[in-house]
């Protein structure tokens, strides 16, 4: 259970939180209304705003009671009333607790590095000012999402993140593929948003409030009277989380989102948007603790998604799409962890934090490779780049080792406990979930080793090629504004896991928000699970080396391949599923409605108009202009009227 809430006035730490949220929004407004006069220095405004937000986050972290002092560990600050209308009383406030502060540091810390990296990456872009404005808007919205103390405040940030992602994914709107990807992300996120909105409506109907404190204090009583209602709320929240975090069956938008500039990919995948779903479920721990069915569905979604991401990642040649599917699978691990419920929520947040470091580093590394390779994303055209880009190679290697769970790198300390927790679920459930997590570890090692070999090792294949715009390739290292953030993230990829996990440092810190951490107790010895995981990882690396390290890599992808490869290339049927379940029925429904409109509504109205026109024509013909005709008409009418009166009176 979470710790009781202490309401505080909007002063001290609470006032810092207000400025923490406002600063990025202020930066976005300045850049958007400042116009082209800010083209040269606009990026500095954006960076200062997000750095100041990071500094405020650090100050709040240091001063928080969980960092050593006393007082309330979970504080709600009331700011103002949104909608004081009779029974509808919506308050706006912020919640400062270990969970929200953890996300604040991740969002502003990694977000600051991505802002700095973007100086070099977007240096030649004519719309750079607008790009940085959207980045600030993204960060501000995410901060509102994690700091809001009610579901309505969370929803406001939730929608702000959706808007910012639409603007950033479609930033290069002159590219049809970017515009299409932005629309796809926007629409698929709306599907999830409907689930979250319905969950909020249901909470208000059942409990008359949408504040975290109000909902969490009453949800136990609701569970006693109507367990199904609690499960319904949990599943609707899960639908919202699936949309925002790219989980099955709403994962198809995430790889397409790679059409945006690479810093956007790093921001969305590492520090902000896709982590929102994991945050939502962890924040709603008091709800999920009361519904075993709800938790079971979360774990199933996580297990299915992590396998989908791994399988699709094995067959992609686009370096950013490989990383995108890697994100899909790693978020699946996080869903699996938070779905296991009480005692192990912290493991999902631990993996989220380590993932923030190594995934941001990997995306920035991919951007550095593209920067030196004429923006080409096809790994089949790379090869031997480690000599040309040594900083990029070594920082990327740190992220690679962390992602596959190599011993003593960050991912090792966060993914391995999740696999143990999955087996600890017990029975058939534990075997299936644990096996899925184990297989995912082996597949992750395979596709990431494939990426490393195709990109950095082997014979340089670009030497005999030209890029799509006709230029020769001259791979080179990126400027310091890009490599410096990569070095910092590489350090985090190597050491953050040990720092956060050893001594259960992070789980203990999160106890006031997520409850007491309990070490998973799988039915087999944890050391055997660790050995099994490492064996599968080694197998994945060796198979990838045998297939891509010892054989020449064709520049064009072979077309005559086995069905599993074709299936993986086709996104494991993700787009086909959405096409069959949603797009095709929706198009058929639209066509039917158009037919009804054209053949029924339009024809009915046209016929009605034709009749009126005919009657009008006949009436017009009676207007002859002769007095004798009008007198005759008046006489006839009078006779008809007299006869009618006599008939009524009983003639």
Burial of 63 per CB tally in 10 Å (0-12, 13-18, 19+): middle
Q: Residues 6 or more apart from 453 whose CB is under 8 A from it? A: 544, 545, 548, 549
Supply the mean pLDDT for the chain.
Answer: 90
User: How far is the C-alpha of 66 from the C-alpha of 70, rounded, in Å?
Assistant: 8
Q: How, if at all, do strands 6-8 and 75-85 pair?
A: parallel
User: How far is the C-alpha of 515 from the C-alpha of 171, rounded, in Å?
Assistant: 41
560 HSE (CA, 13 A, CB side): 0
- Integer CA distances (angstroms), 64 to 4, 14, 59, 533, in order: 16, 11, 8, 38
Q: What is the 3-state secondary structure (H, E, C) of 395-451?
A: HHHHHHHHHHCCCCCHHHHHHHHHHHHHHCCCHHHHHHHHHHHHHHHHHHHHHHHHH
Structure confidence at residue 66 as a pLDDT band (50, 70, 90): confident
Q: Residues 6 or more apart from 521 whose CB is under 8 A from it? A: 424
pLDDT at 312: 94
324-342 per-position pLDDT tens digit: 999 999 999 999 999 998 7
422-441 per-position pLDDT tens digit: 999 989 999 999 999 999 99
User: How far is the C-alpha of 165 from the C-alpha of 159, rounded, in Å?
Assistant: 10
pLDDT at 210: 92
Does residue 9 register a pLDDT over 60? no
Helix axes 42-63, 13-34, angle to 10 degrees: 170
| Residue 294 dihedral angles phi and psi, to the nearest 5° | -60, -45
Does residue 69 register a pLDDT over 60? no
| Residue 461 dihedral angles phi and psi, to the nearest 5° | -90, -15
Q: In what order do the strands lie in the sheet with 88-96?
A: 6-8, 75-85, 88-96
User: How far is the C-alpha of 263 from the C-alpha of 171, rounded, in Å?
Assistant: 12
Burial of 297 per CB tally in 10 Å (0-12, 13-18, 19+): middle
User: How far is the C-alpha of 440 from the C-alpha of 80, rounded, in Å?
Assistant: 47
Higher pLDDT, 573 or 345: 345
Q: Which residue has the tokens 């900083």?
A: 391
DSSP string, 333-401: HHHHHHHT-TT-HHHHHHHHHHHHHHHHHHHHHHHHHHHHTTT--BGGG---TTTT-HHHHHHHHHHHH
pLDDT cut 90: percent of the chain above it: 66
Structure tokens at 79: 């700011």
Q: If we measure between CA atoms, which residue out of 123, 115, 131 comes closest to residue 168? A: 131
Burial of 156 per CB tally in 10 Å (0-12, 13-18, 19+): middle
Helix axes 212-225, 227-245, angle to 10 degrees: 130
pLDDT at 617: 83
604-649 per-position pLDDT tens digit: 888 888 899 888 888 777 777 788 788 888 888 888 998 888 888 7
Structure tokens at 595: 């037919």
557-566 per-position pLDDT tens digit: 998 899 999 9
pLDDT at 5: 54
**Mean pLDDT across 508-527:** 91
Does residue 467 register a pLDDT over 80? yes
Query: CA torsion sign, 211 to 215 to 217 to 218?
Result: positive
342-377 per-position pLDDT tens digit: 788 999 999 999 999 999 999 999 999 999 999 999
Q: What is the CA radius of gyration of the chain?
A: 30
269 HSE (CA, 13 A, CB side): 35
- Integer CA distances (angstroms), 203 to 159, 215, 442, 555, in order: 19, 7, 41, 55
448, 374 Cβ separation under 8 angstroms: no
Structure confidence at residue 222 as a pLDDT band (50, 70, 90): very high
User: How far is the C-alpha of 420 from the C-alpha of 433, rounded, in Å?
Assistant: 10
100-153 per-position pLDDT tens digit: 999 999 999 999 999 999 999 998 888 999 999 999 999 999 999 999 999 999
Q: Which residue has the tokens 């999160």?
A: 510
Write the DSSP symbol of residue 211. Answer: B
The domain limits of the chain are 138-567, 578-649
Q: Which residue has the tokens 């309990």?
A: 518
Q: What is the 3-state secondary structure (H, E, C) of 555-575?
A: CCCCCCCCHHHHHHHCHHHHH
Q: If we measure between CA atoms, which residue out of 365, 364, 361 comes closest to residue 493? A: 361
Long-range CB pairs of 564-571 (<8 Å, 24+ gap) are 564/311, 565/315, 567/311, 568/311, 568/312, 568/314, 568/315, 568/316, 569/315, 569/316, 571/252, 571/255, 571/312
pLDDT at 78: 82
* pTM value surpassing 0.85: yes
Structure tokens at 510: 């999160």
537, 406 Cβ separation under 8 angstroms: yes
Tallying the residues shown for the chain, one arrives at 651
150-185 per-position pLDDT tens digit: 999 999 999 999 999 999 999 998 889 899 899 888
Q: If we measure between CA atoms, which residue out of 376, 575, 547, 562 comes closest to residue 445? A: 547
pLDDT at 7: 54
pLDDT at 651: 54
288, 180 Cβ separation under 8 angstroms: no
Structure confidence at residue 383 as a pLDDT band (50, 70, 90): very high
Structure confidence at residue 12 as a pLDDT band (50, 70, 90): low
647 HSE (CA, 13 A, CB side): 6
């Amino acid at each position: 259970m979470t710790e009781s809430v202490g309401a505080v006035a909007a002063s001290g730490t609470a006032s810092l939180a207000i400025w923490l949220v406002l600063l990025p929004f202020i930066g976005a407004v300045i850049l958007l209304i400042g116009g082209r006069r800010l083209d040269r220095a606009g990026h500095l405004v954006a960076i200062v705003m997000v750095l100041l937000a990071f500094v405020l986050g650090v100050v709040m972290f240091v001063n928080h009671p969980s960092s050593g002092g006393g007082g309330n560990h979970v504080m709600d600050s009331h700011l103002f009333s949104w909608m004081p209308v009779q029974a509808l009383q919506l308050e706006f406030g912020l919640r400062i607790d270990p969970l929200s502060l953890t996300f604040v540091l991740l969002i502003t810390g990694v977000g600051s590095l991505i802002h700095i990296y973007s100086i070099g990456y977007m240096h030649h872009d004519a719309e750079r000012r607008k790009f940085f404005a959207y980045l600030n808007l993204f960060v501000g919205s995410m901060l509102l999402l994690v700091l809001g103390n009610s579901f309505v405040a969370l929803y406001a940030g939730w929608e702000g993140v959706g808007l910012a992602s639409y603007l950033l994914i479609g930033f290069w709107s002159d590219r049809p593929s970017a515009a299409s990807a932005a629309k796809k992300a926007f629409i698929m996120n709306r599907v999830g948003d409907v689930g979250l909105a319905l969950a909020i409506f249901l909470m208000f109907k059942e409990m008359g409030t949408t504040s975290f404190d109000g909902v969490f204090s009453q949800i136990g009583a609701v569970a006693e009277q109507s367990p199904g209602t609690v499960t319904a709320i949990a599943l609707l929240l899960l639908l919202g989380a699936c949309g925002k975090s790219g989980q099955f069956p709403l994962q198809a938008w995430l790889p397409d989102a790679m059409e945006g500039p690479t810093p956007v990919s790093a921001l969305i995948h590492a520090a902000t948007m896709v982590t929102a779903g994991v945050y939502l479920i962890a924040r709603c721990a008091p709800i999920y603790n009361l519904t075993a069915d709800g938790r079971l569905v979360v774990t199933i979604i996580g297990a299915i998604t992590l396998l989908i991401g791994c399988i699709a990642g094995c067959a992609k040649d686009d370096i950013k799409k490989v990383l995108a599917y890697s994100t899909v699978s790693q978020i699946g691990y996080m869903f699996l962890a938070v779905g296991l419920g009480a005692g192990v929520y912290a493991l999902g947040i631990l993996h989220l934090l380590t993932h923030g470091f190594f995934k941001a580093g990997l995306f920035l590394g991919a951007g550095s490779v593209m920067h030196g390779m004429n923006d080409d994303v096809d790994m089949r055209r790379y090869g031997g780049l480690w000599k040309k880009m040594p900083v990029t190679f070594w920082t990327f290697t740190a992220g690679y080792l962390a992602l596959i769970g190599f011993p003593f790198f960050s991912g090792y300390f966060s993914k391995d406990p999740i696999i143990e927790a999955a087996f600890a679920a017990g029975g058939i459930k534990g075997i299936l979930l644990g096996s899925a997590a184990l297989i995912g570890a082996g597949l992750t090692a395979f596709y990431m080793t494939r990426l490393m070999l195709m990109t950095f090792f082997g014979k340089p294949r670009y030497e005999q090629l030209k890029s799509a715009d006709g230029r020769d390739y001259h791979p080179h290292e990126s400027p310091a504004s890009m490599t410096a953030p990569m070095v910092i993230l590489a350090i985090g990829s190597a050491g953050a896991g040990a720092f956060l996990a050893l001594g259960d440092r992070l789980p203990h810190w999160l106890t006031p928000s997520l409850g007491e951490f309990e070490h998973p107790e799988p039915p087999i010895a944890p050391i055997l699970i660790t050995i099994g995981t490492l064996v599968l990882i080694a197998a994945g690396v060796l198979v990838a080396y045998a297939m891509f390290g010892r054989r020449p890599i064709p520049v064009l992808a072979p077309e005559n391949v086995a069905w599993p490869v074709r299936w993986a290339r086709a996104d494991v049927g993700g787009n086909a599923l959405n096409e069959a379940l949603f797009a095709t029925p929706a198009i058929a429904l639209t066509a039917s409605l158009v037919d009804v409109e054209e053949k029924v509504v339009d024809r009915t109205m046209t016929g009605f108009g034709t009749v009126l026109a005919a009657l009008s024509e006949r009436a017009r013909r009676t207007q002859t202009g002769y007095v004798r005709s009008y007198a005759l008409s008046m006489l006839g009418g009078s006779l008809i009227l007299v006869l009618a009166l006599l008939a009524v009176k009983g003639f």
